[in-house]
Amino acid sequence: MPISPFEERYKTEMNAIFEDGNKLRRWMDVEIALAKVHAKMGNIPKDAAAKMAEGAKKVKAERVREIEEEIHHDLMAMVRALSEQSGDAGKYVHLGATSYDIEDTATALIFLDAINTLDGRLGSLCSVLRELAKKHKKTVCIGRTHGQHAVPTTYGMKFAIYYQELLRDRERLREAKKRIGVGKMSGAAGTMATFGAKGIEIQAAVMKELGLEPAKASNQVIQRDRHAEVLCDLALVAALLEKIAKEMRNLQRTEIGEASEPFGKKQVGSSTMPQKRNPHKCERVCSLARLVRANVQTAFENIALEHERDLTNSANERAIFGESFVCVDYMALEMTKILQGLEFFPENIERNLGLTHGLVMSERLMIALTDEAVMGKGKAIGRQEAHELVRELAQRAFNEKKYLKALVKEKKLLPDKELDVIFDPHTYIGCAEKIVEEAVRE
């Protein structure tokens, strides 16, 4: 039975990229690319790389594990297994290379595949957010700051903000491809001594063969700032997904009740409280975001290896790389489903707009008192005076549980026709519609 939930419960298409079988294939891809370059340079027989490529098709993961149990070195186990299947070309496998020439270069290929896969997933989420922003650009709701009712906004604004942030997250991941898509073929301490005077030429040719950039300078490993950057970018995606999930959870609170994640007809919310509709999918997204952020700390610890390298990064990278990518991919998949099935409760949205008996229109009232076009020439007052006047009225309305509009009417501060406009929250959303339209423009 699997120990990690990412092997079953949270499994996605991303798992295939990080499974041991694919890692083994990528290792052999690098070995074959090295052999091709050696052959072109006349260092080994011209047909050796082709024999290795045929041999790679016959290598079994079980045989590699069998060798590893004997020699306690996973990369060298692959080298021996590939050599066994490559006939007389087997003696040229891994010529001049060190383990992490192969492993780190293969990791770059794996990361690029993973970023491309995740970008496709995030593209689907982008489409959902964009459509929600367009659909709800006129859905007026109360805005909240510090957990308190502030001024009206729209649901379109919420989704447009998420959409724009996700675009930035995708851009960061694409940018990171330039720095993670780098390999090395530089030997035990990075000097390329085993390749002699042709070291730089060999490294460049191998990376060209694989579609990677050659590291300009490395020791025994590719420097871990590159990997840490990608995990940081994944954490930023996770943080956005958590942000959306947290907002949906709060909007689903019983006393708010404006929106809800989808709830199936046969779904059970609680083992003891039959009425419960818990936002457990959004809570799961928030929970997994913590794991992704924690992995970033480990990636930062891996940057400061001793001297030309040590192995303190190796064991944890077997976990944090695949785990972080699979986790974020699963979170994005879940959030896409949540938003596609999101339920809205218009009556509660309207109820909450009027919950404070007009107090949320205080800002608009204050601005109106300073406007000569509203008040009449010579009757408008200064901004600070208007602020204090409205503040006192708002406090009184709150304490006496009265409508602010009624108190303003008592004082005859403004004509009734102006008050009707001022206290209509649906007409106080500024440029929200245009903001949304511009934010989601293709």
Active site residues: 146, 270
For 1, residues 6+ apart whose C-beta sits below 8 A from its C-beta are none
The most distant pair of C-alpha atoms in the chain lies apart, rounded to whole Å, by 101
Residue pair 324/234 in contact (Cβ under 8 Å)? The answer is yes
What CA–CA distance (Å, rounded) separates 17 from 267? Answer: 33
What CA–CA distance (Å, rounded) separates 16 from 23? Answer: 10
Residue 339 tokens read as 């938003």
Q: How far apart are the first and last CA of the chain?
A: 46
Residue pair 218/186 in contact (Cβ under 8 Å)? The answer is yes
Helix (H, G, I), strand (E, B) or coil at 151: strand
Residue pair 51/86 in contact (Cβ under 8 Å)? The answer is yes
Beta pairing, strands 259-260 & 213-214 = unpaired
DSSP of 3-29, one letter per residue?
SSGGGTTT--TTHHHHSHHHHHHHHHH
For 44, residues 6+ apart whose C-beta sits below 8 A from its C-beta are 35, 38, 89, 92, 95
What CA–CA distance (Å, rounded) separates 23 from 103? Answer: 9
